[in-house]
Amino acid sequence: MRVLSGIQPSGQLHLGNYFGSIVPNLALVGQAEQNFFFIADLHALTSMQEPAVLKQAREDIVLDYLACGFDPTKAIIFEQSQVPEHTQLLWILSCIAPMGLLERAVSYKDKVQQGIRASVGLFTYPVLMAADILLYRATHVPVGRDQKQHVEIARDLAGKFNAAFGEVFVIPEPVIQKDTAVVPGTDGRKMSKSYGNVIPLFGNENTLKKAIMGIVTDSKDAHAPKDPDTCVVYQIHKLFLSGAEAKALAQEYRSGLAYGEAKKRLLATVLEHLAPLRERRLGLKSSVAKEVLEAGRKKAQEVAHTTMAHVRESTGLS
Ligand code: TYM
C-alpha cells in the first residue's frame, strides 16, 4: 500500500481538511509501505496570485502538518512545485486526456458557474492532480467526497495511458470515510475556504468561539426535542466522539438539549481535542519547515524520477 494525499495552501486548515484527509492519512502511516503528504502549491496558483501570501501559506501548512502528528521520518512531506516531474507528467497526460472528460469535472463547472473566469490551469487542474497521484504509484488516496471525481479521473487517465503505452501506472483507489466524507461548515454547506464557513484547525479560542456560536440552527424552542441527524452542531461534534459517546449525545438532543448549551459543549470538545496540536504548533520554528521539506523533496524526487523514466521509455521519449 502506498498512500498519498495533498492539500492546497490557500488559507488556514479547517476541520474539513482535518477529518476528510489528514486523520485518514495519519491512520494509514505505519501500515503503508510509503506515505506521501504534499502541498499542492501549483494547484493553489489557479486561485491565488499574491506571491507573499502563497509563500507564507506554504511554510505555515508544513508546520500545521507536523503539529497534526506527521512524523517526517515515517511520511514524506514535500511541495509539488519543487518536483518538476509533476508538470512534465501533466503534459504527457494532457495529450491523452479527452476534453469531454475535463468538461464534465464538477469542480470546474462549479467555479465557472460562480462566475470565475476559467484559466487553462483551472481546466487542466484534474490532470495535474492525476500526475500527482500516478507519479508516486499511490494505491490509496484519502480524500473528502469533493475530490472523488478527481481521483476517478486519475484512474481513467492511468487506464488510458496503460492501454496506449503498456502497464506503467498503478490504478489508485480513493479512500473516503463514510462519516467524514463531507464535513459541514457553520452554514450547513460543505466546509470550505471558498464559502467562508470554516472552523479553523489552529484558530485561537476567540476565533473558534465565534465560529461555533455562529453555527446555523433551526428556530426550535430551547427545550424542544431536536433532530441530531439534521443538526450541524451535532454533525460536527460527533466527529470528535466515539460511537458510544455520539449515541449518548444524540439522545440528549432528542431529549431537548438547548442549542446554546450544545454549542458550548462543542466548543469545549474542540478546544480540548485541539489543545495538544496547538501547543505543538506554537513550539515549531520555521527552520524546521525548511529541513523537513528539503528531506521530503529529495525522497519524492527519487520516486518521481523513476516513474518518469518508465513514462519516457514507454512513450518513446527516452
Ligand atoms: P483541498 O485543499 O481543497 O482539500 C484538502 C483535502 O481536504 C478534504 N476536504 C474535506 N473533506 C471533508 N469535508 C470537507 N468539508 C472538506 N473540505 C476539504 C478534500 O477532499 C481534500 O482531500 N485538489 C485537492 C488537492 C490535491 C490532491 C492531489 C489531493 C491536489 N493533488 C492529489 C489528493 C491527491 C484540493 O484542492 O484539496
In 3D space, the residue among 126, 39, 138, 124 whose CA is nearest the CA of residue 81 turns out to be 39
111 is catalytic: yes
Query: Is residue 191 one of the residues assigned to a domain?
Result: no
Same domain, 69 and 132: yes
Same domain, 259 and 140: no
Same domain, 158 and 302: yes
Query: Is residue 197 one of the residues assigned to a domain?
Result: no
- Ligand 1 centroid to 219 CA: how many Å? 33
**How much is the pLDDT for 116?**
85
Which residues are CB-contacts of 37 (< 8 A; sequence separation ≥ 6)? 4, 5, 6, 25, 65, 70, 75, 76, 77
Same domain, 241 and 266: yes
220 is catalytic: no
Query: Is residue 246 one of the residues assigned to a domain?
Result: yes
Residue 25 buriedness (CB in 10 A; 0-12 / 13-18 / 19+): buried
CATH number at residue 113: 3.40.50.620
Please identify which of the residues 111, 226, 238, 263 carries the catalytic annotation: 111
Instruction: Indicate the SS3 state at residue 141.
Output: strand
Q: Which three cell numbers stand for residue 88?
A: 512534465
**How much is the pLDDT for 179?**
87
In the chain, the amino acid numbered 242 is S
Same domain, 15 and 125: yes
CATH number at residue 238: 1.10.240.10
CB–CB of 139/2 below 8 Å?
A: yes
Same domain, 25 and 91: yes
Give the domain extent around 102.
2-182+286-315
In the chain, the amino acid numbered 134 is L
Query: Is residue 21 one of the residues assigned to a domain?
Result: yes
**How much is the pLDDT for 154?**
98
Atom number, ligand 1, closest to the C-alpha of residue 145? 20
**How much is the pLDDT for 11?**
82
DSSP calls for 41-57: HHHHTTT---HHHHHHH
End-to-end Cα distance, the chain:
28
Q: Which three cell numbers stand for residue 235?
A: 454533525
Residue keyed to cell 502497464? 167
HSE, CB side, 13 Å, CA atoms: give it for residue 93.
30
**How much is the pLDDT for 110?**
87
CA separation for the pair 218, 224 (Å, rounded): 11
Same domain, 277 and 292: no
Distances in Å between the alpha carbon of 166 and those of 30, 136, 161, 246, 312? 31, 17, 7, 49, 12
Atom number, ligand 1, closest to the C-alpha of residue 182? 13
- Number of domains composing the chain: 2
193 is catalytic: yes
Name the strand (E) or helix (H) holding 306: helix 286-315
Residue keyed to cell 528539503? 294
Same domain, 255 and 311: no
**Measuring from atom 36 of ligand 1, which residue has the nearest CA?**
8
- Ligand 1: list residues with CB < 6 Å: 4-8, 16-17, 20-21, 40, 43, 129, 132-133, 141, 143-144, 146-147, 150, 180, 182-183, 190-192
Pocket test for ligand 1, best of 143, 197, 201 (most atoms within 8 A of CB): 143
Q: Which three cell numbers stand for residue 206?
A: 476567540
CA separation for the pair 155, 101 (Å, rounded): 12
Same domain, 147 and 227: no
**How much is the pLDDT for 220?**
87
| Residue stretches of the chain with pLDDT short of 70 | none
- Ligand 1 centroid to 160 CA: how many Å? 24
Distances in Å between the alpha carbon of 246 and those of 223, 250, 252, 290, 314? 20, 6, 10, 40, 52
